[in-house]
Protein backbone atom coordinates (compact mmCIF):
# COMPACT_ATOMS: atom_id res chain seq x y z
CA UNK A 1 0.00 0.00 0.00
CA UNK A 2 1.46 3.31 -1.11
CA UNK A 3 2.06 6.00 1.47
CA UNK A 4 -0.01 9.15 1.35
CA UNK A 5 1.73 12.47 0.83
CA UNK A 6 0.94 13.63 4.34
CA UNK A 7 2.39 10.39 5.71
CA UNK A 8 5.58 10.98 3.74
CA UNK A 9 5.81 14.48 5.23
CA UNK A 10 5.24 12.98 8.68
CA UNK A 11 7.99 10.40 8.14
CA UNK A 12 10.49 12.93 6.84
CA UNK A 13 9.94 15.30 9.74
CA UNK A 14 9.96 12.50 12.33
CA UNK A 15 13.26 11.09 11.07
CA UNK A 16 14.75 14.57 11.28
CA UNK A 17 13.45 15.55 14.73
CA UNK A 18 12.23 12.41 16.49
CA UNK A 19 9.11 14.37 17.49
CA UNK A 20 5.93 12.53 16.45
CA UNK A 21 3.70 15.39 17.62
CA UNK A 22 5.49 18.06 15.61
CA UNK A 23 5.75 15.68 12.65
CA UNK A 24 2.01 15.11 12.60
CA UNK A 25 1.29 18.83 12.89
CA UNK A 26 3.67 19.39 9.99
CA UNK A 27 1.84 16.80 7.91
CA UNK A 28 -1.64 17.88 8.96
CA UNK A 29 -1.49 21.65 9.61
CA UNK A 30 -3.93 23.05 12.13
CA UNK A 31 -4.09 19.92 14.31
CA UNK A 32 -3.91 20.65 18.03
CA UNK A 33 -1.21 18.99 20.13
CA UNK A 34 -3.53 16.54 21.90
CA UNK A 35 -4.87 15.13 18.64
CA UNK A 36 -1.41 15.22 17.06
CA UNK A 37 0.04 13.22 19.94
CA UNK A 38 -2.59 10.51 19.59
CA UNK A 39 -2.56 10.35 15.80
CA UNK A 40 1.23 10.55 15.63
CA UNK A 41 1.62 7.52 17.88
CA UNK A 42 -0.96 5.63 15.84
CA UNK A 43 0.92 6.39 12.62
CA UNK A 44 4.19 5.22 14.16
CA UNK A 45 2.60 1.81 14.71
CA UNK A 46 1.64 1.38 11.05
CA UNK A 47 3.95 -1.26 9.49
CA UNK A 48 4.51 0.65 6.25
CA UNK A 49 5.34 3.90 8.09
CA UNK A 50 7.59 2.11 10.59
CA UNK A 51 9.41 0.35 7.75
CA UNK A 52 10.00 3.61 5.87
CA UNK A 53 11.26 5.33 9.03
CA UNK A 54 13.67 2.44 9.61
CA UNK A 55 14.89 2.65 5.99
CA UNK A 56 15.50 6.41 6.10
CA UNK A 57 17.21 6.13 9.47
CA UNK A 58 19.47 3.25 8.49
CA UNK A 59 22.34 5.48 7.35
CA UNK A 60 22.69 7.03 10.80
CA UNK A 61 21.99 3.97 12.93
CA UNK A 62 24.44 3.36 15.76
CA UNK A 63 24.33 -0.25 17.05
CA UNK A 64 24.61 0.53 20.76
CA UNK A 65 21.36 -0.36 22.45
CA UNK A 66 18.77 -2.81 21.14
CA UNK A 67 15.29 -3.25 22.56
CA UNK A 68 13.07 -5.93 21.05
CA UNK A 69 9.70 -4.64 22.23
CA UNK A 70 9.75 -0.93 21.33
CA UNK A 71 6.19 0.27 20.63
CA UNK A 72 6.91 1.69 17.17
CA UNK A 73 8.56 -1.52 16.03
CA UNK A 74 5.84 -3.74 14.60
CA UNK A 75 8.12 -6.15 12.71
CA UNK A 76 9.63 -7.74 15.84
CA UNK A 77 13.14 -6.72 14.82
CA UNK A 78 15.39 -5.08 17.45
CA UNK A 79 15.23 -1.30 17.62
CA UNK A 80 18.60 0.44 17.24
CA UNK A 81 19.46 3.90 18.52
CA UNK A 82 20.22 6.55 15.93
CA UNK A 83 23.00 9.11 16.23
CA UNK A 84 20.81 11.97 17.43
CA UNK A 85 19.20 9.85 20.14
CA UNK A 86 22.61 8.71 21.31
CA UNK A 87 23.79 12.32 21.42
CA UNK A 88 20.68 13.28 23.40
CA UNK A 89 21.45 10.64 26.04
CA UNK A 90 25.06 11.78 26.35
CA UNK A 91 23.98 15.40 26.70
CA UNK A 92 21.19 14.56 29.16
CA UNK A 93 23.48 12.89 31.71
CA UNK A 94 25.57 16.09 31.88
CA UNK A 95 22.92 18.25 33.57
CA UNK A 96 19.71 16.13 33.53
CA UNK A 97 17.98 18.87 31.51
CA UNK A 98 15.99 17.19 28.74
CA UNK A 99 15.15 20.45 26.94
CA UNK A 100 18.75 21.63 26.74
CA UNK A 101 19.93 18.14 25.85
CA UNK A 102 17.51 18.09 22.91
CA UNK A 103 18.73 21.51 21.73
CA UNK A 104 22.39 20.49 22.00
CA UNK A 105 21.53 17.34 20.05
CA UNK A 106 20.30 19.49 17.14
CA UNK A 107 16.60 18.83 17.59
CA UNK A 108 14.14 21.65 16.91
CA UNK A 109 14.54 24.45 19.45
CA UNK A 110 10.88 25.37 19.15
CA UNK A 111 9.80 21.88 20.25
CA UNK A 112 12.83 20.98 22.35
CA UNK A 113 10.85 20.71 25.57
CA UNK A 114 8.31 18.29 24.13
CA UNK A 115 10.94 16.36 22.20
CA UNK A 116 13.09 15.92 25.29
CA UNK A 117 10.15 14.72 27.38
CA UNK A 118 9.06 12.30 24.66
CA UNK A 119 12.56 10.89 24.19
CA UNK A 120 12.81 10.12 27.90
CA UNK A 121 9.72 7.90 27.65
CA UNK A 122 11.38 5.55 25.16
CA UNK A 123 12.59 2.35 26.84
CA UNK A 124 15.82 2.07 24.86
CA UNK A 125 16.65 5.73 25.63
CA UNK A 126 16.14 5.06 29.35
CA UNK A 127 18.33 1.94 29.13
CA UNK A 128 21.20 3.80 27.47
CA UNK A 129 20.99 6.65 30.01
CA UNK A 130 21.25 4.05 32.78
CA UNK A 131 24.28 2.56 31.03
CA UNK A 132 25.97 5.96 30.84
CA UNK A 133 25.26 6.70 34.50
CA UNK A 134 26.52 3.29 35.59
CA UNK A 135 29.68 3.68 33.52
CA UNK A 136 30.33 7.10 35.03
CA UNK A 137 29.77 5.77 38.55
CA UNK A 138 32.28 2.99 37.94
CA UNK A 139 34.75 5.43 36.42
CA UNK A 140 34.50 8.09 39.12
CA UNK A 141 33.41 5.88 42.02
CA UNK A 142 30.67 8.43 42.66
CA UNK A 143 27.67 6.34 43.63
CA UNK A 144 24.48 7.13 45.49
CA UNK A 145 25.70 5.07 48.44
CA UNK A 146 29.00 6.94 48.62
CA UNK A 147 27.28 10.31 48.43
CA UNK A 148 24.82 9.33 51.16
CA UNK A 149 27.60 8.08 53.44
CA UNK A 150 29.51 11.33 52.94
CA UNK A 151 26.42 13.33 53.88
CA UNK A 152 25.91 11.11 56.92
CA UNK A 153 29.46 11.82 58.12
CA UNK A 154 28.61 15.52 58.06
CA UNK A 155 25.09 15.21 59.48
CA UNK A 156 26.08 13.09 62.46
CA UNK A 157 29.41 14.73 63.31
CA UNK A 158 29.88 16.20 66.80
CA UNK A 159 32.16 19.01 67.84
CA UNK A 160 33.55 16.70 70.51
CA UNK A 161 34.97 14.57 67.71
CA UNK A 162 37.57 17.30 67.24
CA UNK A 163 37.92 19.24 70.49
CA UNK A 164 37.73 18.61 74.23
CA UNK A 165 36.67 21.19 76.80
CA UNK A 166 37.93 20.49 80.32
CA UNK A 167 39.16 22.09 83.56
CA UNK A 168 42.93 22.17 84.06
CA UNK A 169 45.39 23.59 86.61
CA UNK A 170 47.32 26.35 84.88
CA UNK A 171 49.78 29.01 86.16
CA UNK A 172 47.97 31.90 87.81
CA UNK A 173 47.71 34.94 85.61
CA UNK A 174 48.92 37.32 88.32
CA UNK A 175 51.80 36.24 90.59
CA UNK A 176 52.60 38.21 93.83
CA UNK A 177 55.58 40.52 93.51
CA UNK A 178 58.75 39.41 95.27
CA UNK A 179 60.78 41.91 97.36
CA UNK A 180 64.40 40.91 97.63
CA UNK A 181 66.22 41.27 101.00
CA UNK A 182 63.32 42.69 103.05
CA UNK A 183 62.96 41.13 106.49
CA UNK A 184 65.23 38.20 105.61
CA UNK A 185 68.74 37.11 106.40
CA UNK A 186 70.52 37.55 103.13
CA UNK A 187 73.46 35.54 104.39
CA UNK A 188 71.28 32.44 104.50
CA UNK A 189 70.27 32.89 100.85
CA UNK A 190 66.61 32.58 101.49
CA UNK A 191 65.81 34.59 98.36
CA UNK A 192 67.61 31.97 96.30
CA UNK A 193 64.99 29.31 97.21
CA UNK A 194 62.35 29.28 94.43
CA UNK A 195 58.83 29.77 95.63
CA UNK A 196 56.14 27.34 94.47
CA UNK A 197 54.30 28.81 91.48
CA UNK A 198 50.66 29.49 92.13
CA UNK A 199 48.08 27.85 89.88
CA UNK A 200 44.40 28.25 89.23
CA UNK A 201 41.63 26.12 87.70
CA UNK A 202 40.69 27.28 84.22
CA UNK A 203 38.59 25.99 81.32
CA UNK A 204 40.88 24.82 78.52
CA UNK A 205 39.98 23.81 74.95
CA UNK A 206 42.15 21.06 73.52
CA UNK A 207 42.10 20.43 69.76
CA UNK A 208 42.85 16.86 68.72
CA UNK A 209 45.62 16.15 66.25
CA UNK A 210 44.09 15.23 62.88
CA UNK A 211 46.26 12.11 62.73
CA UNK A 212 44.31 10.82 65.71
CA UNK A 213 40.85 11.55 64.26
CA UNK A 214 39.20 8.75 62.21
CA UNK A 215 38.97 9.42 58.47
CA UNK A 216 35.17 9.27 58.31
CA UNK A 217 34.99 12.03 60.97
CA UNK A 218 37.49 14.23 59.14
CA UNK A 219 35.03 14.41 56.24
CA UNK A 220 32.84 16.70 58.35
CA UNK A 221 35.60 19.33 58.59
CA UNK A 222 35.13 22.39 56.42
CA UNK A 223 38.31 24.21 57.48
CA UNK A 224 40.97 24.61 60.15
CA UNK A 225 42.80 27.90 60.45
CA UNK A 226 45.04 29.77 62.84
CA UNK A 227 43.71 33.17 63.88
CA UNK A 228 44.62 35.86 66.40
CA UNK A 229 42.42 34.26 69.01
CA UNK A 230 43.73 30.76 68.39
CA UNK A 231 42.84 27.83 66.15
CA UNK A 232 39.39 27.87 64.53
CA UNK A 233 37.72 24.58 63.58
CA UNK A 234 34.71 24.84 61.25
CA UNK A 235 32.36 21.99 60.30
CA UNK A 236 30.21 21.63 57.22
CA UNK A 237 26.51 22.47 57.66
CA UNK A 238 24.73 19.73 59.58
CA UNK A 239 21.34 21.23 58.72
CA UNK A 240 22.00 21.04 54.97
CA UNK A 241 23.31 17.48 55.15
CA UNK A 242 20.29 16.37 57.21
CA UNK A 243 17.96 18.08 54.76
CA UNK A 244 19.50 16.22 51.79
CA UNK A 245 19.37 12.90 53.63
CA UNK A 246 15.76 13.58 54.57
CA UNK A 247 14.86 14.24 50.95
CA UNK A 248 16.49 10.98 49.91
CA UNK A 249 14.52 9.08 52.54
CA UNK A 250 11.28 10.88 51.68
CA UNK A 251 10.98 12.29 55.18
CA UNK A 252 9.83 15.74 54.10
CA UNK A 253 6.76 14.53 52.22
CA UNK A 254 3.30 15.06 53.65
CA UNK A 255 3.14 11.33 54.23
CA UNK A 256 6.23 9.85 55.85
CA UNK A 257 7.75 7.14 53.73
CA UNK A 258 7.43 3.77 55.45
CA UNK A 259 10.76 2.46 56.65
CA UNK A 260 12.47 5.85 56.46
CA UNK A 261 13.15 5.96 60.20
CA UNK A 262 14.63 2.48 60.20
CA UNK A 263 16.81 3.25 57.17
CA UNK A 264 18.07 6.41 58.85
CA UNK A 265 18.92 4.48 62.02
CA UNK A 266 20.85 1.89 60.01
CA UNK A 267 22.73 4.64 58.20
CA UNK A 268 23.61 6.31 61.49
CA UNK A 269 24.86 3.00 62.90
CA UNK A 270 27.00 2.41 59.81
CA UNK A 271 28.66 5.79 60.12
CA UNK A 272 29.18 5.55 63.86
CA UNK A 273 30.82 2.16 63.37
CA UNK A 274 33.46 3.91 61.30
CA UNK A 275 32.36 2.70 57.87
CA UNK A 276 34.52 4.16 55.10
Give residue 64's pLDDT.
34
DSSP letter, residue 189: T
pLDDT on residue 272:
58
Give the per-residue SS3 of 20-35: HHHHHHHHCCCCCHHH
pLDDT digits (tens, 9 = 90+) for 160-174: 888 888 887 777 665
The pLDDT profile of the chain, 276 residues, written as one tens digit per residue, is 688 889 889 888 888 777 888 889 889 988 888 888 888 888 888 888 888 887 776 544 333 333 323 334 434 444 568 888 999 999 998 888 999 999 999 998 888 898 999 899 888 898 889 888 888 777 766 667 778 888 888 888 888 888 888 887 777 665 555 544 444 555 555 555 556 667 777 777 788 887 878 888 888 888 888 877 778 888 888 888 888 878 777 776 544 444 555 656 666 666 656 544
Per-residue DSSP letter, 133: H
All domains in the chain, ordered by first residue = 5-140 (1.10.10.1400), 147-161+214-272 (no CATH)
Give residue 270's pLDDT. Answer: 63
pTM score, two decimals?
A: 0.39
The whole-number pLDDT of residue 72 equals 42
Q: How many CB atoms lie within 10 A of CB 117?
A: 12
- Beta-bridged to residue 200, according to DSSP, are 170
DSSP secondary structure of 205-268: EEEPPGGGS-HHHHTTEEEEEEETTEEEEEE--HHHHHHHHHHHHTTTSSSPPTTHHHHHHHHH
Beta-bridge partners for 202: 168
Helix 33-44 and helix 5-17, axial crossing angle in degrees, nearest 10: 90
- Residue 61: per-residue pLDDT: 37
What is the 8-class DSSP label of residue 186?
G
Neighbouring-strand partners of residue 224: 233
Of 155, 147, 144, give the one whose Cα is nearest residue 268: 155
Long-range contact pairs involving 173-180 (C-beta distance under 8 Å, separation at least 24):
173/200
| Residue 150 phi, psi dihedral angles, 5° rounding | -65, -45
In a 3-state reduction of DSSP, which class is residue 87? helix
pLDDT at 63: 36
What are φ and ψ of residue 81, in 5° steps? -80, 135
Are 221 and 276 contacting, i.e. CB atoms less than 8 angstroms apart?
no
C-alpha to C-alpha distance for 273 and 112, rounded to whole angstroms: 49
Structure confidence at residue 154 (pLDDT): 87
Amino acid sequence: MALEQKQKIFIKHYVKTGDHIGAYQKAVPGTNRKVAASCGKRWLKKPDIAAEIARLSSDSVVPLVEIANFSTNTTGAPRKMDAKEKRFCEEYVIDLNATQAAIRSKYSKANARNIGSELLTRPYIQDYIHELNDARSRRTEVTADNVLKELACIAFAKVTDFVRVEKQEVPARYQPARVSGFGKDEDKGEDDIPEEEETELQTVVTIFETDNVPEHQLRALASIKQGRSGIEVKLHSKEKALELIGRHLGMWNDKLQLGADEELKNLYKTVMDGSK
